[in-house]
Amino acid sequence: MGAATPLPVLIVLHQEHSTPGRVGRLLVERGHPLDIRRPRFGDPLPQTLALHAGAVVFGGPMSANDPDDWVKREIDWIGVALDEKKPLLGLCLGAQMLAKHLGGRIDPHPSGLAEIGYYPLKPTATGRRFASETGAPWPSHVYQWHREGLDCPPGGELLAEGADFPNQAFRVGPAAFGLQFHPEVTHAMIYRWTTRASERLGLPGAQAAHLHHRGRFMYDPDVALWLDAFLDHWLAAGTPQARSQPVAEPGSACAPAI
């Protein structure tokens, strides 16, 4: 008998014209259809992920602290993936929603700084061990676009740190990950963001547009290699064999959000 057809991956987007970028392309290349939902515009989220290989919750200009009903519902819904131990990946806003669901705080930088552009990334000791699991080193710089920082939540393992926003990547259990940064961005997405949201490039700490484009050529090859290996590891974490493994105790302490 042939191999089973891969299950779809749930893609949660927050703007009308957002795309899953490179993450979506890599999942399709692995044979996974994309089930794209936009809860902000009324799309329902599934009551179970039994018919999905996992879920990716993407970013957006809103805050996980916003009082909108759809924001609160989406944060609550994250419990579906966690309870079923399905692969869950939160990117920027998605990572902040994951942290908030688990009791972490989301706060602006006390000095009003933003991270918009390419910034250094430093793996923790736990993160270095995780890199040995995936077979790919962490990139030295990653693309950022945010003004709030997240707590690494209770029970989480801090995998990577930054200077102004200390919690950059965390894992909860075998298959749930939050990344403050944007490995999904394509060159076209960077052009679009720096053009349509150019006013944000003037925020304290943000980089000028030409540094975004230069950083893309300097750092993105390493980001691409890391993401390719990471997604294989992430999808494998949802297999019955992986879900039956005991969860290791957290190995790296989480810093405050700011």
Sequence-distant (6+) residues with CB within 8 A of 100 are 64, 65, 75, 106, 150
Interval 76-130: pLDDT, tens: 999 999 999 999 999 999 999 999 999 999 999 999 999 999 999 999 999 999 9
Interval 199-211: pLDDT, tens: 999 999 999 999 9
Q: Which two tokens stand for residue 251?
A: 């190995």
Count of CB atoms within 10 A of residue 186's CB? 15
71-74 contacts: CB < 8 A, separation 24 or more? 71/97, 73/39, 73/45, 74/12, 74/39, 74/45
Please tell me the distance from the alpha carbon of residue 147 to that of residue 258, in angstroms, as a whole number: 11
pLDDT of 257: 46
pLDDT of 3: 66
**Residues that are catalytic:** 92, 182, 184
What is the pTM for the complete model shown? 0.93
CA distances from 195 to 16, 187, 198, 205 (A): 17, 12, 5, 18
